[in-house]
Amino acid sequence: MKTIAVFDSGVGGLSVLRALYRHIPEVHWIYAADSAFAPYGERTESEVRARSLQVAQWLQRQHEPDVLVVACNTATAWAIDSLREKLPVLPIVGVEPALKPAALLSRTAHVGVLATSGTLSSPRFAGLLGTVQAQAAAVRFSCQPCPGLADAIERAHDSAIRDLCNTYAQALLARGIAERPLDTVVLGCTHYPFAMRHWQEAFGPHVAILDNAPAIARRTADLLGGVALPDQTDTLNAPEASLYASGDVPMLRQACNRWVPDLNVRSASRLNLP
C-alpha cells in the first residue's frame, strides 16, 4: 500500500486530506500538523521556509512517503521551491489559489481572493496572479487578507469564525461596483473551506466560492500513476490515517472528529521537531 503524507501548520490541511482520500482509494495517510508553530500565515518567509523543511525532512525520514502534499498555501508560496530543491527524489504537491478557474467562471469579470497576509505578499502569488491576468486581462482581482481567521478555525471558535467571515466578505463585496459586482470568490487558505457555511451566508447565493482541493487530489493521483476517481463519499473501507502534531495532539484528534468524521484515525502522536 502506498503512503501519502500531508502537512499543514494546523488543521486546515484536513480539508485537502478530505478531498484526497475521497478521490484516491487504498492509501495509508500521514497527516502532520505543525500546530506549535501555527499560523504560518503570520510568520516571516524565512521562518516558514525553515520550518517547512524540518517537517518535510521528518516525514521523509520517518515514513518514506510516495508523495508529499504541502497542504498550506503559505508554505507553498514561501517554501515549495526550496523543498523540491532539497528533497529532489520526493514528489511534492503544493496548493495554490484557484485564480484561473475563477477567472473562467466569473460572469462579471470580478473575482475576490481570500488568503493569509503571507500568501498574498509572496512572490509566488504575485507571479501566479500576473500569469492569470496576462491571460484574462479583463478580469479584476480583489485580494483580501484575513488575519485571525485561520487561528479561529484552528481553535473551533464558531462565533469568531462567523464574525471574521462576515467582516472579510463585506470588505470584498464593497469593492464591487454596479457594472462589475463580485460574483466569484477563491478560498486561498486551506483552513477557509471549514468556514464554508459562514462564507455562503456572508456572500449570498449569487457568489460562487471555489476550493482548489479536488484539483490537488487529481494532481496527486497523477503523481502516483493513477487516476483520481469521482468523490467516493460512500466508500465501504474508511480511509486510515496516522496523525502527528507538534502542538496539542488531542486537539488535532478532536479536529478530525469535527471536520473529517469519516476518517479512521489509526494513531495520534507527537511530532517532535528541534
Which residues are known to be catalytic?
72, 189
Q: Which letter does DSSP use for residue 229 in this model?
A: P
Of 148, 117, 106, the C-alpha closest to 45 is 117
CA–CA distances in Å: residue 217 to residues 23, 121, 123, 209, 211:
6, 26, 25, 18, 12
Of 91, 90, 93, the C-alpha closest to 8 is 93
- Decide if 192 contacts 168 (C-beta within 8 A): no
CA–CA distances in Å: residue 108 to residues 112, 153, 174, 225:
12, 31, 15, 38
Angle at alpha carbon of residue 19, lines to 76 and 72, rounded to 5°: 20
The span from the CA of 137 to the CA of 117, in Å, is 24
Torsional class of 128: left (φ above 0), alpha (ψ -120 to 50), beta (otherwise):
alpha
The span from the CA of 64 to the CA of 58, in Å, is 9
Q: Which amino acid is at 89?
A: V
